[in-house]
Amino acid sequence: MGALELKGITKRFGATEVIKGVDLRVEDGEFCVFVGPSGCGKSTLLRIIAGLEDASAGDILLDGVRVNDVAPARRELAMVFQSYALYPHLTVRDNMGLALKQAGIGKAEIRAATDKAAQMLALEPLMDRRPAELSGGQRQRVAIGRAIVRTPKLFLFDEPLSNLDAALRVATRIEIARLHRDLGATMIYVTHDQVEAMTLADRIVVLRAGKVEQTGRPMDLYNDPDNLFVAGFIGSPQMNFLNAPALSAPGATLGVRPEHLQVSRSAGAIEGQVSHVEKLGGETLAYVKSALHGLLTLRLFGEHDFIMGETLYLSPEPQRQFHFDAEGLRLRIV
Amino acid sequence: MAHARSHLGRSIAAHAALIAYTVIALFPVFVIVINSFKSRKAIFADPLALPGPGTFDLVGYQTVMKQGDFLLYFQNSMIVTCASLFCVLLFGAMAAFALSEYRFRGNLLMGLYLALGIMIPIRLGTVAILEIMVASGLVNTLTALILVYTAQGLPLSVFILSEFMKSVSDDLKNAGRIDGLSEYAIFFRLVLPLVRPAMATVAVFTMIPIWNDLWFPLILAPAEETKTVTLGAQVFIGQFVTNWNAVLAALSLAILPVLVLYLVFSRQLIRGITAGAVK
Ligand SMILES: Nc1ncnc2c1ncn2[C@@H]1O[C@H](COP(=O)(O)OP(=O)(O)OP(=O)(O)O)[C@@H](O)[C@H]1O
Ligand SMILES: [Mg+2]
């Protein structure tokens, strides 16, 4: 229970087409992450799955049943919003129990369900407070608790961690991963954050301007991107794109990740000057300005010292190069 | 330290300005109230003097009470004001919710049409309104007044409330939908409590003109049993002789109920504002 299938979903707002034909299958129990630039339609797609927006065309199937005309509450899914969206006038307990109450479930059962969810998320001491009396992280945990209580087939998360600070984000991310293991439910998760996407996902769906660019396991997208866009989007810092003809490489663009550039002070394929250095402790990022290729990022393990303006020679590791044609499609050269 | 002192200085200046404004605004009310407790001669001898042992006189209030139906007039005014207020707030909020929440053909036009009434005074339509009321047999009923005042109050109410409702988080409403709340439950249980400050504002702006109106009671419901307070007070104003004691007493009394209503709403208003600030 909990498999989702989208068939040719499109969505128009007036004349503008925001979702342009999305086909997607999310298996039961899978953790699926949607990533993509701002405005590419991630939230819209999630709202269509939830039933909060109607699709202009296409079918949504849950467990093989078409649910286009089923009300959101009857789709047996739960959604966690970026802004928490807790009911301000209800206590934490009532916030979590409202959906069950609306479904006509008995008081004792609601109490048992909310207590169980509270225990999973360590919310017990907060049950009688109102949302205004909670911190941001606590509110987000309550929002997640509200989703758990309903034991839905499908969880939808729309950038749930983006309002939290860095430490809390890590803690909540681990919590969500644990929940996914414990509940075994299907989850669809929208995020801007590379780390969240890479660490949580069984499968990542990269969206761009309302279209699916590529789907795959995190490491497949990282090691084997289908096109320039996915190559640039997955991985941080971003992949370097070099001028291929200047290096007499095939295609129009040569892609190489910052960690796959070898550096030398005497000789190499690309000559450039150091323009900025960022030391992060565990690693060092150097930005090298090259006349032919623009600004390149270099990522080195450990601590390294560079002099500003110093000339460096960079060489892409031969096994780690990606070739793209003029349209940005990957050329797979064996 | 210097910072604290300049802060104090600024707050004194602000308070002085506000107090001055309050004094100016309340002065006419104050004059009406003190003079309503004085004898006729004392009113004209020195209008600004406080009622003293020689000048204190309740004759105005006695006249008003004796004039028979003042209690009934009050009741009529209260019924008309409260019922109109209820309708304006309820229907205004419902229309505002529909306009701000749902995308449908003609949404914008409908919004403009409903807001048009802010600019066009309803009194221009008096003749037509009277004809309608005559035709439907509603002349000399409170219903006629309630209907007219509801129509008069709706445009501003829809306009203000729809702006406020647009600011209620979509996520909250969507969370309600996913939790199985009906659209009515979302409206009454999620959205209305959140726009309570706006409702209080609309209530105050709607209530005062209705309570004070003379025009429509005079035209649509001048009968003895449907007179409102403002219309009732007119019996003391004659073309040649005016019973000032009674007029002032009636006006002083008329302030009371509206003051009470205002206090109720303004408390809501302040509570709404502070609730938002704490969040
Ligand atoms: N109600 C609407 N009416 C018209 N256009 C809309 C509406 N909702 C969204 N859009 C448009 O649809 C596009 C996709 O919006 P959406 O919110 O899905 O983006 P997103 O991928 O979630 O972006 P972000 O990462 O910034 O949240 C945007 O260009 C937006 O302007
Ligand atoms: Mg979004």
Each residue's pLDDT tens digit, A24-64: 999 999 999 999 999 999 999 999 999 999 999 999 999 99
User: Is residue A83 within 8 angstroms of chain B, CB to CB?
Assistant: yes
Torsions phi, psi for A151 (to 5 deg): 40, 65
Same domain, A51 and A114: yes
Same domain, A215 and A265: no
Q: At what angle do helices B244-278 and B70-101 cross, to 10 degrees?
A: 30
Which is higher by pLDDT, A93 or B196? A93
Best CA proximity match to A103, nearest among A79, A71, A141? A71
Ion ligand 2 neighbours, Cβ < 5 Å: A 43
Q: Please, which residues bridge with residue A286 across strands?
A: A277, A298
Report yes or no: A68 and A59 within 8 Å, Cβ to Cβ: yes
Report yes or no: A196 and A161 within 8 Å, Cβ to Cβ: yes
Report yes or no: B7 and B24 within 8 Å, Cβ to Cβ: no
Domains of chain A: total: 2
* DSSP symbol at B50: P
Report yes or no: A242 and A251 within 8 Å, Cβ to Cβ: no
Same domain, A213 and A319: no
Q: Per mean pLDDT, which range of A155-159, A287-291, B110-114 is the poorest? A: B110-114
Looking at residue B277, its pLDDT comes to: 43
What is the C-alpha separation between A188 and B279, in angstroms, rounded?
30
**CA B99 to ligand 2 center in whole angstroms:** 24
Could you count the other beta carbons within 10 Å of the beta carbon of residue A154? 23
Ligand with an atom nearest the CA of residue B103:
1
Q: What tokens were used for B23?
A: 């004094």
Question: Band of the pLDDT at B278, cuts 50, 70, 90?
Answer: very low
Same domain, A31 and A143: yes
Average pLDDT, stretch B200-224?
A: 90
Q: Is the pLDDT of residue B274 over 70?
A: no
Q: Is A87 in the pocket of ligand 1 (CB under 6 A)?
A: no
Residue A271, min C-alpha distance to chain B (Å):
51
| Final residue belonging to a domain, choices A229, A250, A284 | A229
Question: To which H or E segment does residue A310 belong?
Answer: none
Average pLDDT, stretch B258-270?
A: 79
**For chain B, percent helix, then strand, then coil, each to nearest 5?**
80, 0, 20
Please state, rounded to an integer, the average pLDDT across all residues of chain B.
87
Looking at residue B3, its pLDDT comes to: 61
Q: Is the pLDDT of residue A314 over 90?
A: yes
Best CA proximity match to A329, nearest among A231, A240, A237? A231
Question: Band of the pLDDT at B279, cuts 50, 70, 90?
Answer: very low
- Superfamily per CATH, domain B68-262: MetI-like (1.10.3720.10)
Q: Is the pLDDT of residue B114 over 80?
A: yes
- ipTM of the complex in this document: 0.85
> Which residue matches tokens 């009050």?
B74
* DSSP symbol at A154: E
| Beta-strand pair A186-190/A154-158 | parallel
| Final residue belonging to a domain, choices A186, A209, A229 | A229
Each residue's pLDDT tens digit, A107-161: 999 999 999 999 988 899 999 999 999 998 899 999 999 999 988 999 999 999 9
Same domain, A272 and A142: no
Q: Say which CATH number the domain at A62 has.
A: 3.40.50.300
Highest mean pLDDT (candidates A20-34, B98-112, B185-199): A20-34
What is the C-alpha separation between A225 and A330, in angstroms, rounded?
7
Question: Band of the pLDDT at B272, cuts 50, 70, 90?
Answer: low
Q: Side chain identity at A291, as an amino acid letter?
A: A
Q: Is B238 exposed, middle or buried (0-12, 13-18, 19+ CB in 10 A)?
A: exposed
Could you count the other beta carbons within 10 Å of the beta carbon of residue B17? 10
Each residue's pLDDT tens digit, B144-177: 999 999 999 999 999 999 999 998 989 999 999 9
Long-range (24+ apart) CB contacts under 8 A made by B119-124 are B122/B148, B122/B151, B122/B152, B123/B215
| Final residue belonging to a domain, choices A194, A209, A229 | A229
Q: Is A54 exposed, middle or buried (0-12, 13-18, 19+ CB in 10 A)?
A: exposed
Residue of minimum CA distance from atom 30 in ligand 1: A39
Residue of minimum CA distance from atom 12 in ligand 1: A18
Looking at residue B276, its pLDDT comes to: 46
Q: B174 vs A47: CB contact, 8 Å cut-off?
A: yes
Nearest by CB to residue A98, choosing from B171, B179, B278, is B179
What is the C-alpha separation between B31 and B27, in angstroms, rounded?
6
Report yes or no: A239 and A284 within 8 Å, Cβ to Cβ: no
What is the C-alpha separation between A231 and A214, in angstroms, rounded?
10
Report yes or no: A166 and A173 within 8 Å, Cβ to Cβ: no
Same domain, A253 and A304: yes
Q: Is the pLDDT of residue A321 over 50?
A: yes
What is the C-alpha separation between A245 and A252, in angstroms, rounded?
7
List Cα–Cα distances, B262 to A187, B51, B212, in angstroms.
Answer: 51, 28, 14
Looking at residue B68, its pLDDT comes to: 63
Same domain, A197 and A323: no
Q: Say which CATH number the domain at A246 has.
A: 2.40.50.140
What is the C-alpha separation between B256 and B175, in angstroms, rounded?
44
Each residue's pLDDT tens digit, B229-241: 888 888 788 777 7
Do you know the residue count of chain A? 334
Q: Is the pLDDT of residue A213 over 50?
A: yes
Q: Which domain holds residue A171?
A: 4-229
Average pLDDT, stretch A219-242?
A: 93
Q: Side chain identity at B55, as an amino acid letter?
A: T
What is the C-alpha separation between B124 and B146, in angstroms, rounded?
18
What is the C-alpha separation between A300 and A279, in angstroms, rounded?
10
Each residue's pLDDT tens digit, B46-77: 888 888 888 888 888 888 888 767 888 889 99
CB pairs below 8 Å between A and B: how many?
A: 58
Report yes or no: B171 and B130 within 8 Å, Cβ to Cβ: no
Report yes or no: A332 and A260 within 8 Å, Cβ to Cβ: no
Q: Is the pLDDT of residue B39 over 90?
A: no
Report the residue of B171, B182, B186 to disrupt the A interface, i.e. the one with the largest count of A CBs within 10 Å.
B171
User: Is residue A88 within 8 angstroms of chain B, CB to CB?
Assistant: yes
Each residue's pLDDT tens digit, A79-95: 999 888 999 989 999 99
List Cα–Cα distances, A73 to A77, A99, A154, B62, B174, in angstroms.
Answer: 7, 8, 12, 64, 10
